[in-house]
Structure 1
Amino acid sequence: MPGYWELEEGKDCVAKTVESTKFATFIGLSITGLRVVVFLAEPPLIALKTAASITGTTAAMGAIFGLTTCLSAQMREKPDSALNYFIGGCASGALLGVRTHSILTGSMSCFALGCTAALAKIAKIEDWRITGTAIR
Structure 2
Amino acid sequence: MSEYWKDPEGTNCPKKISVTTSLSAVVGLLASSCQVVLHPSDIVLKSVQRVASTTLTMAAVGAIFGAVTCTTAKVSKDPDSPLNYFAGGCAAGTMFGARAHSFAVGTAACVSLGTVATVVKLGKIEGATLFGPPKL
TM-score of the superposition, structure 1-length normalised? 0.93
Question: Hey, what's the Cα distance between the residues in 2 that align with 1:10 and 1:94?
Answer: 22
User: Which residue does the alignment assign to 2:8?
Assistant: 8
Question: Hey, what's the Cα distance between the residues in 2 that align with 1:41 and 1:98?
Answer: 25
Q: Deviations over 1:43-89 (max 9, x none)?
A: 21100001011000000000000000000011113111110000000
Per-residue deviation, 1:133: 4.4
User: Which residue does the alignment assign to 2:51?
Assistant: 51
Q: For 1:10, what is the secondary structure of its paired residue? A: coil
Question: Hey, what's the Cα distance between the residues in 1 that align with 2:129 and 2:115?
Answer: 18
The aligned amino acid for 1:37 is V
Per-residue deviation, 1:129: 3.2
Distance 1:46 1:132, change over 3 A: same
The aligned amino acid for 1:61 is V
Q: CA RMSD in A?
A: 1.3
The aligned amino acid for 2:15 is A
Per-residue deviation, 1:34: 0.8
TM-score of the superposition, structure 2-length normalised? 0.93
Count of aligned pairs: 134
CA contact 2:13–2:66 (8 Å) conserved in 1: yes
The aligned amino acid for 1:60 is A
Question: Hey, what's the Cα distance between the residues in 1 that align with 2:38 and 2:46?
Answer: 14
List 4+ stretches of structure 1 deviating above 6 A.
none
Q: For 2:51, what is the secondary structure of its paired residue? A: helix
Greater Cα offset, 32-41 or 91-100: 32-41
The aligned amino acid for 2:95 is L
Structure 2: unaligned runs, 5 residues or longer: none
Q: Percent identity?
A: 40
Question: Hey, what's the Cα distance between the residues in 2 that align with 1:77 and 1:32?
Answer: 39
2:32 equivalent to 1:64:
no
User: Which residue does the alignment assign to 1:74?
Assistant: 74
Question: Hey, what's the Cα distance between the residues in 1 that align with 2:131 and 2:12?
Answer: 30
User: Which residue does the alignment assign to 1:125?
Assistant: 125
